[in-house]
Structure 1
Amino acid sequence: MKCHRIEELLELLEPEWQKDSELNLLAFLVKLANEAGYQGDLADLSDDILIYHLKMRHSAKDEMIPGLKKDQEDDFKTAILKARGIIQ
């Protein structure tokens, strides 16, 4: 994990963990993993899962993931032209 990802994870984690301050860090990570629907070993839990879950934790179920939202186009033709670099 790179430094900026560690910083981003800690920045997102701190306010949420303070709301559940009775839990230790590992118990809180298990809670986040369960909320995100992760079913693997905790040792294999990726930073991406934690970051995206923390970003989307209190948003509506149908809200788009921030990383995808910025690239969304309303029509197919514009999306293709942008993908091919024809328009900006």
Structure 2
Amino acid sequence: MKTHRVDELIELLHPEWRKDTDLNLVEFLLKLAAEAKYDGKLEELTDDVLIYHLKMRNSGKDDMIPGLAKDCEDDFKTAILRARGIIK
């Protein structure tokens, strides 16, 4: 895992874990995995699952996934023109 990913994960994890101070780290990771509907082995849980789950954990059901919102266009014509490189 790259250093910036570790920093991002710790930055997202810290405030959420402080809300569940009665849990140790492994218990909290298991809780996050269950919330994310991850059913594999804990050692196979990726940092991407944790990062995106922590980013979306307190957001509304209809909120857009971070990273996708920047590419979202309000109208189809603009999206097509951007995709074809006609406008930037």
SS in 2 for 1:70: helix
Give a deviation string over 1:9-61, Cα, whole Å, max 9, x none: 00000010011011010000000010011111111111111001111101111
Unaligned runs of 5+ in 2: none
Match of 1:19 in 2: 19
Percent identity for Structure 1 against Structure 2: 70
Tell me the amino acid that sits aligned with residue 80 of structure 2.
I
Q: Which runs of 5+ in 1 are unaligned?
A: none
Q: Aligned residue for 1:64?
A: 64
For 1:39 and 1:80, how far apart are their aligned partners in 2? 38
TM normalised by structure 2 equals 0.94
TM-score between both structures, scaled by the size of structure 1: 0.94
Residue type at the aligned position of 2:66: P
| Deviation for aligned residue 1:82 | 1.1
The count of corresponding residues between Structure 1 and Structure 2 is 88
Say what the alpha-carbon RMSD is for the aligned residues: 0.9
1:7 and 1:57 mapped to 2: Cα distance? 18
Which amino acid is 1:16 matched to?
E
